[in-house]
């Protein structure tokens, strides 16, 4: 039997009991629809109904021009309050950030004032920045429709790496709205003389999905927007910034950090919202069926009930598996994740919009605002790690006034288990802060060199960007900057060609023999290759399993063949940390010391487990993988005199160790921007144990560690609450244990007591 047919027959073996498919949308409640499934084992532990919200409208203080109103608004339509407020801010010349929920009409909110500016001034131009190419092309289609109604006055165009060379000069000269991404603009500013007309007339800069720019990428966007501002000043333009963000705790602070300009904020939505039912599903009530399999069964059942479904998973492998296990002969679920070619992803988007498929299994790649049609159901295969991301994902359903259903599946994830105890409190929690690593001198130095090549720099300009005066002298020593009189210039022309927008890890190219699609190649970072594509690993590509057969580390290429046995693999990862130089020391109390340090993290896959789903056997195998070292930013938390807290010295390490595990589970509730790289350990440190919390990053995000220090008391309170709410007696993976830690010397009661005592210091 050919391998592709065999794989399809094996996929059918995953078939779960269910009711017959419905040809019409069910009139039963979402809960009733779920409970009639044959695989239901009383997993629903809570359901919360969020009532529908009526729209609220407002007339702008400055009325829309008749042309703008006629083209953009259907007869009788009115603006939501937040749309009118954004319009008024822009008309008054103020920068504004719009931070309202998904599907609240944010696009119209920034398109309206942009159109008004461009129609009032025939020479005016606008720049729309999106984090991904998919979002850029999605926006282009909408703007082209508007432009057609306006008689071709705007001539919108995408300008990025895919734009043909033959069209670029014409776009620069004629397009009044250019849509791009930071990676492209970062390069194009090196040729700003070719953009003179566009930049000198720039009136509006739109930064969409602003919550995306956190950590190192946030710092790099800050440098890019500073360079753009220098050039618009040079050409005599004063653009107004309009930013659109997902729900975050600090939209005003975040945008003022990124742009170094004052911002008004609009964060109350006037959009109508359909009723939403949020269901919390406990996968552990069916221990024989893995959480991802339950997610796949649930998706297939709801698709058969004529619902349109997106399943969000937290890993690429989970997303691929759900697509395979949830599909059958009648209903396909396609995977959607990073690593695929743009053509593959656009194919999935197009099939969703057209209704060819009713289900997609995605990673966070689909969290951003690509318009993918009338989805009414979102399944979260695990808590995504932040409240902000939770609402971004749940908001993908109900975008067209359909009654929305969101299902949060909780399996063995410790943080989500602790939150499951009070689901209503979870939904009521404030979103996290978005934090950019704006003190990363390596990133700032790169943009300094680029800025100096675009226009000469003086000491005052540099001083406003850099607190560390040694950076400039270091750049001169390295022959990256030269001083000529009172100004600094780049030592080489257009260093943009050698300077990426963000430093990416080296990547591997994976080749899939016999792949059914014509795009049988994808790229994967070196860290992902280490964990997911070591020799012998089973790797899923567009719903099909492949076995890694050979790796060429010199050429960074991986070769895979089809996997026909239905096995899957799980790596055994060894990680160690060594301390480097001290960067900062804070002592908020005589008994508590917080030290920010540089560290070196070493990772290696030493083996893997291979699972046979048919025989239910597990085989352990050894593998030799390369060692990967990376710098990390860390905070060392030490109690200088444990006996003063009333905890016996022999019990202190176990208490501290348990608290360390609890803290790293709750810290993602406080901030976004690198928390996926958050890790921790407890050092015995002779007679003075210490906790170490660190971020695995290429650069040093001191802003992240500073946030941990700043919010330590709040994190301790959350950890104490989580430990106290856990029903276990001696500690479990849902409170003070961590499956990644070999040392299980922990004390649950002591950890809770220590969290309480440290809050008082």
The predicted-structure confidence for 493-510, as pLDDT tens digits, reads as follows: 899 999 999 877 778 999
Topology of domain 66-266, CATH: Rossmann fold (3.40.50)
pLDDT at 739: 57
Q: What is the C-alpha separation between 370 and 443, in angstroms, rounded?
A: 29
> Which residue matches tokens 């099939």?
351
Please name the residues in contact with 366: beta carbons below 8 A apart, sequence gap of 6 or more.
310, 312, 336, 360, 372, 396
Q: Hey, which CATH number is domain 3-51+274-422, 3.40.50.300, 3.90.1150.10, 3.30.2270.10, 3.40.640.10?
A: 3.40.50.300
Residue 658 parent element (H or E): helix 649-666
pLDDT at 8: 35
- Tokens for 321, please give them: 């598996």
Mean pLDDT computed over 726-731:
78
Helix or strand or coil: residue 69?
A: helix
pLDDT band of residue 207 (cuts 50, 70, 90) is very high
For the ranges 174-183, 224-233, 359-368, which has the lowest average pLDDT? 359-368
pLDDT band of residue 245 (cuts 50, 70, 90) is very high
Q: What are phi and psi of 312, to 5 degrees?
A: -100, 125
Angstrom distances, CA of residue 661 to CA of 335, 401, 514, 680: 33, 42, 44, 7
Mean pLDDT computed over 584-605:
87
| pLDDT digits 0-9 by tens, 329-364 | 888 898 888 767 767 777 887 787 777 888 899 888
pLDDT at 5: 34
Q: What is the C-alpha separation between 669 and 418, in angstroms, rounded?
A: 12
Query: Is the model's pLDDT at 222 over the cut of 80?
Result: yes
Positive or negative, the CA dihedral 496, 502, 506, 510 is: negative
Percent of the chain with pLDDT over 90: 40
Query: Is the model's pLDDT at 603 over the cut of 70?
Result: yes
| pLDDT digits 0-9 by tens, 89-113 | 999 999 999 999 887 888 999 999 9
Contact 195, 454 (CB under 8 A): no
Angstrom distances, CA of residue 6 to CA of 229, 471, 566: 58, 60, 10
Query: Is the model's pLDDT at 395 over the cut of 90?
Result: no
Domain ranges in the chain are: 3-51+274-422, 66-266, 441-498, 507-564, 572-759
Query: Is the model's pLDDT at 616 over the cut of 60?
Result: yes
Q: Do domains 3-51+274-422 and 441-498 have the same CATH topology?
A: no
**Mean of per-residue pLDDT scores for the chain:** 85
Q: List, as one string, the DSSP characters of 429-442.
A: SPPPEE-B-TT-HH
> Which residue matches tokens 């919550």?
211
**Residue among 368, 369, 347 at smallest CA distance from 360:** 347
Q: List, as one string, the DSSP characters of 160-180.
A: STTS-HHHHHHHHHH-SEEEE
Residue 619 parent element (H or E): strand 617-622
pLDDT at 676: 57
pLDDT band of residue 3 (cuts 50, 70, 90) is very low
DSSP 8-state secondary structure symbol assigned to residue 118: H
| pLDDT digits 0-9 by tens, 132-174 | 887 888 889 889 988 998 889 999 999 998 899 999 999 999 9
Please name the residues in contact with 563: beta carbons below 8 A apart, sequence gap of 6 or more.
538, 545, 546, 547
Angstrom distances, CA of residue 596 to CA of 246, 277, 586, 693: 31, 44, 8, 10
DSSP 8-state secondary structure symbol assigned to residue 53: B
Mean pLDDT computed over 34-49:
92
Give whichever of 68-77, 305-314, 674-683, 729-738 has the largest mean pLDDT.
Answer: 305-314
Any bridge partners for residue 574, and if so which? 604
Helix or strand or coil: residue 44?
A: strand
DSSP 8-state secondary structure symbol assigned to residue 674: S
**Residue among 658, 669, 656, 664 at smallest CA distance from 732:** 658
| pLDDT digits 0-9 by tens, 251-261 | 999 999 999 99
Q: What is the C-alpha separation between 747 and 116, in angstroms, rounded?
A: 63
Please name the residues in contact with 230: beta carbons below 8 A apart, sequence gap of 6 or more.
451, 454, 455, 461
pLDDT at 733: 64
Instruction: State the greatest distance between any 2 C-alpha atoms of the chain, in Å, as a whole number.
Output: 81
| pLDDT digits 0-9 by tens, 663-721 | 988 887 666 554 556 788 888 887 789 999 887 654 445 566 777 888 888 889 989 98
Torsion of CA 490, 494, 497, 502, to 10 degrees: 50
- Tokens for 590, please give them: 């005589």
pLDDT at 700: 44
Give whichever of 72-76, 251-255, 550-554 has the largest mean pLDDT.
Answer: 251-255
Residue 96's Cβ-count burial label (10 Å; 0-12, 13-18, 19+) is buried
Q: What is the C-alpha separation between 288 and 284, in angstroms, rounded?
A: 9
Contact 611, 570 (CB under 8 A): yes
Q: Hey, which CATH number is domain 441-498, 2.60.40, 1.10.10, 3.40.50, 3.30.70?
A: 1.10.10
Contact 398, 308 (CB under 8 A): no
| pLDDT digits 0-9 by tens, 227-240 | 999 999 999 999 99
Positive or negative, the CA dihedral 322, 326, 327, 328 is: positive
Contact 97, 252 (CB under 8 A): yes
| pTM exceeding the 0.75 threshold for the entire prediction | yes
- Tokens for 243, please give them: 């930013």
Angstrom distances, CA of residue 737 to CA of 200, 576, 648, 742: 59, 19, 21, 10
pLDDT band of residue 1 (cuts 50, 70, 90) is very low
């Amino acid at each position: 039997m050919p391998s592709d047919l065999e794989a399809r027959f094996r996929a059918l073996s995953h078939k779960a009991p269910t009711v017959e498919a419905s040809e019409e949308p069910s009139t039963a409640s979402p809960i009733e629809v779920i409970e009639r499934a044959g695989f239901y084992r009383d997993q629903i532990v809570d359901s919360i109904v969020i009532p529908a919200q009526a729209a609220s409208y407002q007339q702008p203080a400055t009325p829309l021009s008749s042309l703008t109103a006629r083209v953009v608004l259907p007869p009788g339509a009115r603006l939501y309050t937040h749309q009118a407020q954004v319009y008024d801010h822009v008309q008054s010349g103020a920068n504004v950030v719009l931070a309202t929920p998904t599907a609240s009409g944010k696009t119209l909110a920034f398109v309206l004032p942009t159109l008004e500016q461009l129609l009032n001034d025939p020479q005016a131009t606008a720049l729309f920045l999106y984090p991904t190419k998919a979002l850029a092309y999605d926006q282009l289609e909408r703007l082209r429709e508007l432009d057609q109604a306006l008689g071709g006055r705007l001539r919108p165009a995408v300008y990025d790496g895919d734009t043909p060379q033959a069209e670029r000069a014409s776009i620069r000269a004629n397009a009044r709205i250019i849509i791009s991404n930071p990676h492209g603009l970062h390069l194009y500013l090196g040729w700003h003389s070719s953009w003179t007309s566009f930049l000198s007339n720039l009136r509006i800069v739109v930064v969409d999905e602003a919550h995306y720019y956190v950590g190192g990428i946030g710092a790099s966007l800050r440098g890019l927007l500073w360079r753009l501002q220098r050039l618009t000043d040079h050409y005599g333009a004063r653009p107004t910034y309009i930013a659109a963000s997902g729900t975050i705790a600090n939209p005003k602070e975040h945008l003022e950090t990124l742009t170094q300009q004052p911002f008004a904020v609009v964060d109350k939505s006037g959009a109508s919202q359909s009723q939403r039912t949020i269901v919390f599903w406990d996968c552990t009530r069916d221990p024989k069926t893995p959480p991802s399999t339950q997610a796949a069964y649930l998706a297939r059942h709801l698709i058969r009930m004529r619902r349109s479904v997106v399943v969000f998973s937290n890993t690429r492998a989970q997303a691929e598996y759900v697509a395979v296990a949830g599909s059958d002969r009648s209903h396909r679920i396609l995977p959607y994740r990073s690593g695929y070619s743009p053509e593959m992803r656009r194919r999935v988007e197009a099939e969703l919009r057209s209704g060819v498929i009713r289900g997609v299994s995605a990673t966070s790649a689909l969290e951003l605002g690509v318009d993918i049609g009338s989805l009414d159901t979102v399944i979260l295969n695990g808590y995504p790690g932040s409240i902000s991301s939770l609402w971004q994902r749940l908001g993908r359903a109900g975008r067209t006034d359909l009654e929305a259903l969101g299902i949060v599946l909780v399996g063995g994830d410790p943080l989500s288990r602790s939150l499951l105890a009070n689901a209503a409190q979870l939904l009521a929690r404030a979103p996290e802060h978005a934090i950019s690593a704006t003190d990363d001198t390596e990133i700032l130095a790169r943009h300094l060199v680029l800025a100096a090549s675009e226009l000469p720099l003086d000491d005052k300009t540099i001083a406003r960007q850099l607190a560390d005066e040694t950076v400039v002298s270091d750049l001169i020593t390295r022959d990256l900057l030269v001083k000529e009189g009172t100004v600094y210039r780049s030592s080489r022309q257009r260093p943009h060609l050698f300077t990426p927008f963000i430093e990416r890890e080296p990547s591997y190219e994976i080749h899939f023999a016999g792949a059914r699609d014509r795009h049988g190649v994808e790229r994967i970072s070196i860290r992902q290759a280490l964990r997911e594509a070591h020799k012998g690993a089973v790797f899923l590509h567009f719903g099909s399993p492949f076995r890694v057969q050979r790796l060429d580390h010199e050429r960074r290429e991986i070769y895979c063949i089809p996997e026909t046995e239905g096995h899957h693999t799980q790596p055994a990862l060894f990680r160690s940390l060594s301390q480097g130089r001290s960067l900062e020391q804070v002592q908020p109390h005589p008994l508590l010391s917080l030290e920010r340090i540089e560290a070196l993290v070493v990772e290696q896959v030493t083996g893997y487990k291979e699972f046979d789903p048919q025989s239910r056997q597990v085989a352990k195998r050894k593998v030799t993988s390369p060692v990967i070292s990376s710098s990390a930013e860390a905070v060392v938390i030490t109690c200088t005199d444990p006996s003063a807290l009333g905890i016996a010295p022999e019990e202190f390490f176990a208490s501290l160790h348990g608290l360390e595990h609890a803290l790293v589970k709750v810290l993602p509730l406080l901030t976004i921007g690198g928390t996926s790289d958050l890790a921790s350990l407890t050092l015995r440190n002779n007679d003075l144990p210490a906790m170490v919390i660190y971020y695995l990053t290429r650069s040093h995000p001191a802003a992240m560690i500073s946030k941990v220090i700043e919010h330590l008391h709040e994190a301790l309170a959350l950890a104490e609450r989580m430990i106290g709410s856990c029903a276990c007696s001696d500690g479990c993976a849902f409170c003070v244990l961590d499956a990644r830690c070999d040392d299980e010397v922990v004390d649950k009661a002591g950890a809770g007591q220590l969290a309480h005592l440290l809050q008082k210091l």
